[in-house]
A and B are shown apart, each in its own frame.
Chain A
Amino acid sequence: MSEATIVVDGLRKRFGSTQALDGMTFTVQPGRITGFIGPNGAGKSTTMRVILGLDRPDSGAALVGGQPYRTLRRPLCHLGSLLDAAALQPSRTARNHLLWIAHSQGLGARRVDAVIEEAGLQGVARRAAGGFSLGMRQRLGIAMALLGDPPMLMLDEPFNGMDPEGIIWMRGFLRSLARQGRAVLVSSHLMSELQDAASQVVIVGRGRVLADTAVADLLRTSSSLEEAYLKLTRDAVEYRAANGTEAAR
């Protein structure tokens, strides 16, 4: 198995009466962008939280480069992630926010300044991050994900709050990461954002994978990614209804 591969294997996780993850299984390969798509509540964020060791699954496992995330000593040098762009202390400057994260990985201020530039934050790095627009915070999150120059990246809704220019920048940026041979997992609930960028899609619903396929293959049976997505997730809704009847019996 390649070193830069994220493996999600049979994750199950229940929150109260909700089965958030119901056997979630897929692999993220290096050198391409894998779109992670599904309706709200499909289990995308929970899967990502499990990969990061923030949530513990009831069963199943997630491996990052062959290891559980929680055992990694400098995890951000293996897997860079952006889960919640707003999860920062609002009065701390963007640069200081990146600096404490860099220090935790044994990295220094030089690396911080490099990622600030890569994410296009030079002008605002010494401003309090709390005053940033969501789009700017996404860029800050990208900077954070890049700190450890990781072979794997995982971004949850990175297009959220971005203006059209930002979306175009983000798409190009993600593509360049994949071209460098990195494994890139990008969640989104909008197909259009990932169009032309992702080469593989994992479509999920109700905590499990509905389809894990090359975009090119999907387009062979459907006229657009969007149509394929709607067809698949509609089936998921029907599945839910059938399941409910079964449970009532």
Chain B
Amino acid sequence: MTGVLRSEWTKFRSAPGAVWLLVAVVAVTVAGGAATAATLRCPSTGCTGDPAEISLTGIQLSQAVVAIVAALMVGGEYRTNMIHTTLAATPQRIRMLIAKTAVVAGVVALAGAVAVPAGVLVGRPMLADRGLTLALSDAAVQRAAFGSVLYLVLIALLTVGVAVIARDAAAAIGVVLSLLYVFAILAQMVPDAELRENLREIAPMTAGLAIQATVDLASLPVSPWRGLAVLAAWAFGSLVVGGVLLKARDA
């Protein structure tokens, strides 16, 4: 297994642009949070809102970059037919998938572990100017931060699974972004209140981002950790389907 892992790592670090995409994950996370904090409009009675969620708004954008990173790791091999070489070198296909998934998860976790604290630290003084306190010692804030890193990792896993199913990077990116954004928007448009809530509970993005909430938890469609578990279920499901197809199909 170590050989396959090392192989996938070598592939990743020698892929053009891979490192820059990780830098982009950090930049977009920080910039997104800062822009949201800077443009926050508050009533004369003072700002209300969830400071942790605001400072981590950038995740909603950087998840798209994460999806691109993960989709290219898989889809790029299919576009070039390099997958044939990969599977000739590691004919145990599930082992290959596990190694690839582990490398993608690892690099995204690393990018997230830089991006999230950076986003919080940049957003914090901007929010303080508007009278919102982001307490770093608050357990809920720490959970939101740690959970946001996990959120990005789960988005990467979801995308790896979808890309293995689709065998095409562009298609995988399209499917994942639809699943994240379009599902969330459609859920918002449903007139029936109960159905709307139900959809928000199972939509990977709205459910998963519940992990960022630090105030007014009772109003959430799902509790933070349960919400992240919903996203994890999506990711796990796509990887299982991807694994079954990878094993069964001709390469």
Contact = CB atoms under 8 A, between A and B. Distances in A.
B16 A104 contact: no
18 contacts: A49-B250, A54-B84, A54-B251, A55-B251, A72-B91, A75-B90, A84-B81, A87-B84, A87-B85, A88-B80, A88-B85, A89-B80, A99-B10, A99-B14, A103-B7, A104-B6, A104-B90, A144-B85
Contacts, number: 87
Interface in A139-180: 144
Contacts of A71: 91
Report, as a range, how many residues of chain B touch the other chain: 20 to 34
Interface of B: 2-4, 6-11, 14-16, 76-77, 80-92, 250-251
A195 interface: no
Interface-centre pick from A53, A96, A101, A104 (highest chain B CB count, 10 A) = A104
Interface residues of A, number: 33
Contact of A90 (B2, B80, B83): B80
Interface of A: 49, 52-56, 69-72, 74-76, 81, 83-84, 86-93, 96, 99-101, 103-106, 144
Nearest to B17: A91
B93 to A, nearest CB: 8
A147 to B, nearest CB: 9
Nearest to A53: B91
SS class, residues of chain B in contact with chain A: helix
SS class, residues of chain A in contact with chain B: loop
A144 B85 CA distance: 10
B91 A75 contact: yes
A83 B90 CA distance: 15
Contacts of A84: 81, 84
A100 B85 CA distance: 11
Contact of B10 (A53, A76, A91, A103): A103
B89 A76 contact: yes
Given A87-B83, A100-B14, 5 more contacts: A75-B91, A81-B88, A87-B81, A100-B7, A103-B9
Contacts of A106: 2-3
Nearest to B92: A70
